[in-house]
């Protein structure tokens, strides 16, 4: 492991012991950097502040990777696996570039992209390519965040036991004021619904006016429920969904306030806060 400066986390993490001994925690402050290499101890990592850079090299592993306050996460060919009640990758008013990597959390989300729930703070931005995000209950979620995925699989298994609503079983949860773009054969799969758009009741106002979901040559699947669902119809801002270039949404599109969704795909249709611009197949 190559590291410029190493310090303990300011906030203690819950104690845990594995066969290899106590789990570790590493924290980077503004201006500090660290590179995680194959064979390094499997740690919880965080970076915060201007100039803080956390890098994972091909073959490296970790328990979590969190960046905040304009810090940068750069990850290629890494694996992050843990059983946490919170996400194992948190991008809060920071940026992350994740390529050919795998995230797996069996209790809660694999990735969260937010503005740190702070009104007026900039959105977190994550670009995920050729990767897999697997979570318990929720695969990933943006909340006042920007998430771009390319040739990436986002998946949930079962229902989560973490801090998010316990009844969620969705590949992607879109909570508030977020932008999502899925391209190049990306797949979003939920045990129940593929995508759920809802207000979790705690999101602070951010720099993005409305939710925007764009599917470009990508696919959304709800294994037992709907492709895309809107909850709390009067609580969330308007959401525009664009389906293009052979994208598909299965099993259906629905809303949970009792009103029926259109029975057939139209080029543009609007119900509640969900506005659809259709240029591909919806099934």
Q: What is the pLDDT of residue 201?
A: 54
Q: What is the pLDDT of residue 15?
A: 31
DSSP-assigned letter for residue 259? P
Domain ranges of the chain: 25-251
| Residue 54 neighbours by CB distance under 10 Å | 28
- 10-residue block means of pLDDT along the chain (283 residues)? 36 30 72 97 96 98 98 99 94 98 96 87 96 96 95 89 72 90 97 83 52 92 86 62 87 47 33 44 41
**Which two three-digit tokens encode residue 139?**
């695969």
The SS3 call for residue 30 is coil
Contact 65, 56 (CB under 8 A): yes
Q: Can you tell me the distance from the alpha carbon of 137 to that of 67, in angstroms, rounded to the nearest whole number? A: 23
DSSP-assigned letter for residue 169? -
């Amino acid at each position: 492991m190559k590291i410029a400066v190493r310090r303990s986390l300011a906030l203690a993490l819950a104690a845990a012991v594995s066969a290899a001994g106590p789990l570790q925690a590493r924290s980077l402050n503004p201006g500090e950097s660290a590179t995680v290499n194959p064979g390094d101890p499997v740690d919880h990592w965080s970076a915060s502040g201007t100039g803080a850079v956390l890098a994972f090299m091909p073959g490296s592993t970790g328990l979590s990777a969190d960046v905040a306050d304009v810090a940068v996460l750069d990850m290629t060919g890494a694996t992050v696996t843990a059983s946490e009640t919170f996400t194992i990758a948190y991008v809060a008013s920071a940026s992350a570039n994740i390529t050919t990597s795998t995230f797996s959390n069996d209790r809660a989300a694999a990735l969260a992209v937010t503005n740190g729930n702070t009104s007026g703070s900039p959105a977190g931005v994550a670009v995920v390519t050729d990767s897999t995000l697997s979570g318990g209950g929720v695969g990933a979620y943006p909340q006042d965040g920007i998430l771009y995925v390319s040739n990436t699989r986002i998946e949930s298994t079962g229902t989560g036991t973490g801090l998010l609503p316990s009844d969620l079983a969705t590949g992607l949860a879109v909570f508030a004021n977020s932008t999502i773009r899925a391209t190049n054969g990306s797949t979003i799969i939920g045990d129940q619904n593929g995508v759920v758009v809802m207000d979790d009741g705690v999101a602070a106002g951010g720099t993005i006016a409305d939710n925007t979901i764009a599917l470009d040559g990508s696919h959304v699947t709800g294994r037992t429920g709907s492709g895309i669902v809107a909850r709390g119809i009067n609580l969330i801002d308007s959401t525009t969904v664009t389906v293009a270039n052979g994208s598909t949404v299965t099993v259906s599109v629905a809303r949970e306030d009792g009103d029926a969704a259109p029975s057939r795909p139209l080029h543009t249709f609007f119900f509640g806060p969900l506005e659809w611009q259709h240029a591909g197949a919806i099934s």
